[in-house]
Structure 1
Amino acid sequence: MTKNAGNHSRSKQLKQNPSVLDNFKPLLVDVAVPLGSYYLVKDAFGLSTFAALVWSSVLPAARTVWSLVKERRTNALAGLILVVNVVSLLLSFVSGDPRLMLAKDGGVSSTIALGILVSVWRGRPMMTAGMKPFLVKGDTAKEAAWQRLASGAAARSAAFRRKESAFSVVWGVALLAECVARVVGAYTVPVDTMVWLGSVFLVVAMVIGFVVGGGLVVAPMERMLAAEVEAGATERPARPVQCARAVAI
């Protein structure tokens, strides 16, 4: 019974505090599904390059709509991505240019990147939601230490919050660079090559985000968190020892 309750509590916590990888799962799906569907409809059904790109782009848009309906709440970032996809599809239909279809994927990356950077400017770094569970690991002492550091109540708060913002900046810049690479590649690289090369650009951007963000930000934050846990344990007053009263006969 206790074990089941503990498992339920942990799964609830994971849903409320998704990891960095969980946050990017939809993006990974939007890479794998269009890539596979492009080659399927083009090679198996003999559609043109433009038609194959259109059909492979419809699936991510449909997934985004389904996610919004399923969650039954407004997701600003998902909504922006959906708008970018729909507008790009309409423009592509008007122009009939397969290279514009490829360039639109850079618009999705830039939308996410700008959303991340705006969240830093507003003082609410978007990537913190994915980084925090990785550092706290469900430990109540670390959770309390995080709250003290994030709220400004600890001596290391200013440095901690700078690192917190820097993690989101790293991801925002990496995705913006990926956007530029996609757009340039869309108009300079053969279309069939760019279909899979665009996915490589995204994977490279994510690797940069994990490696650079981990080295420059996560490791120092982990040390600050450990130091704050130790400081909190030292400042905590000792619990009085209750002595048993002697019963006089």
Structure 2
Amino acid sequence: MTKNTGAQGRTEQQKQNPSVLDNFLPLVLDVGVPLGSYYLFKDALGMSTFAALAWSSVVPAVRTVWALVKERKANGLAGLILAVNLVSLLLTFVSGDPRLMLAKDGVVSSTVGIGILLSVRMGKPMMTAGLKPFLVKADAAKEAAWTRLTSGAAARSAEFLRKERAYSVVWGLALLTECVARVVGAYTVPVDTMVWLGTVFVVGAIGIGMLVGGGLAIEPMQEMLKAETESGAEVGEAGATAPAAA
């Protein structure tokens, strides 16, 4: 009896104060595993591009179907990665023109960028999956403050939600810009140059997303989250003091 109660207590505590791994696990499963397995199959195991894409699509496919059947909702990140892989699978049949092969790599960025922007339009910004763990840092008080801010219960909820959407918009636009630059470069820059320049475009897009997104959204959100956390702590202390005074 005592052991069961202790186990249940630990389980409830883990739910209320999840670890960093718990917060990042969905992001790792939906994005990290498919991308990592693709390069493992292709570069380390020597599989063809088609086979590597097919095998790396297994996890996002299972995650997408599981979310639809079990949770009755769409898994945005897993579904997006699956869609990107399917588009890439179709494009592997396009060959012969080296410039076209370079340009088609931009389809991945454009698909992800469009998916992120659509998620903002639907009211569920996709980049929040990676943003929330970074800001909350597995802190129960910050987790509660985040919930109040995103649910509309806090005074600065509207401003907080605007910054949350802005962060995803920045990343969506950065990836779309990278796609346009890659396609233009594929047909205007020498092929040998474009082979390494494509990587520069990707790194540049990531840098822009981090720099602009950090200044435009992350820093203001950190301040609002800190203020809301302190406000919640003060309310809790006042509630605990009132019965004692009575």
1:80 correspondence with 2:83 = yes
1:101-121 CA distance string (max 9 Å, x none): 111111110000000000000
Q: Deviations over 1:116-147 (max 9, x none)?
A: 00000000000011000111111111100000
Equivalent in the alignment of 1:206: 206
- Displacement of 1:192: 2.7
Letter in 1 for 2:23: N
In the TM superposition, what whole-angstrom CA distance separates every residue of 1:24-80 from its partner, at most 9, and x where no partner exists?
64687599779978xxx9xxxxxxxxxxxx95x436514532433665747310221
1:218 alignment partner in structure 2: 218
Shift in CA distance, 188/20, structure 1 to aligned 2, threshold 3 Å: farther
Match of 2:72 in 1: none
Q: Aligned residues, how many?
A: 221
Separation in 2, partners of 1:216, 1:224 = 13
For residues 175-214 of structure 1, the aligned pairs below 5 Å read 175-214=175-214
Distance, in Å, in 1 between the alignment partners of 2:99 and 2:80 is 25
CA–CA distance in 2 between the matches of 1:14 and 1:99? 43
1:18 aligns with 2:24: yes
Does structure 1 retain, via aligned residues, the 8 Å contact 2:170–2:209? yes
Is the partner of 2:24 in helix, strand or coil?
coil
Contact 1:34–1:60 under 8 Å retained in 2: yes
Q: Give me the CA root mean square deviation.
A: 3.5
Deviation (angstroms), 1:168: 0.1
Q: Report the equivalent of 1:111.
A: 111
Which amino acid counterpart does residue 82 of structure 1 have in structure 2?
A: N
| Structure label with greater radius of gyration | 1
The question of 1:238 aligning with 2:230 is answered no
Match of 1:67 among 35, 59, 63: 59
The alpha-carbon deviation at position 218 of structure 1 amounts to 0.4
SS of structure 2 residue aligned to 1:61: helix
* 1:89-104 matched pairs, under 5 angstroms: 89-90=92-93, 92-93=94-95, 96-104=96-104
Where 1:18 maps in the other structure, the secondary structure is helix
Q: 1:231 offset after TM fit, Å?
A: 1.4
State how far apart, in whole Å, the 2-side matches of 1:164 and 1:139 are: 19
TM-score normalised by structure 2 residue count: 0.76
% same residue: 52
Structure 1 residues 81 and 117: CA distance shift in structure 2, 3 A: same
Deviates more, 1:96-105 or 1:141-150: 96-105
Partners of 1:26 and 1:204 in 2: CA distance: 23
Distance 2:206 2:227 in 1: 29
1:238 match: secondary structure? helix
Query: Structure 2 CA distance, aligned partners of 1:228 and 1:20?
Result: 26
CA distance in 1, matches of 2:26, 2:206: 10
Structure 1 residues 135 and 20: alpha-carbon distance in aligned structure 2, compared to 1, 3 A threshold? farther
Answer whether contact 1:19 1:133 (CA < 8 A) is retained.
no
Tell me if structure 2 keeps the 8 A contact 1:119–1:125. Answer: yes
Q: Which runs of 5 or more structure 2 residues have no equivalent in the other structure? A: 1-5, 68-77
Matches within 5 A, 1:133-144: 133-144=133-144
Distance 1:88 1:119 in 2: 25
Cα displacement (A) at 1:17: 2.4
- Structure 1, unmatched stretches of 5+, are 42-53, 243-249
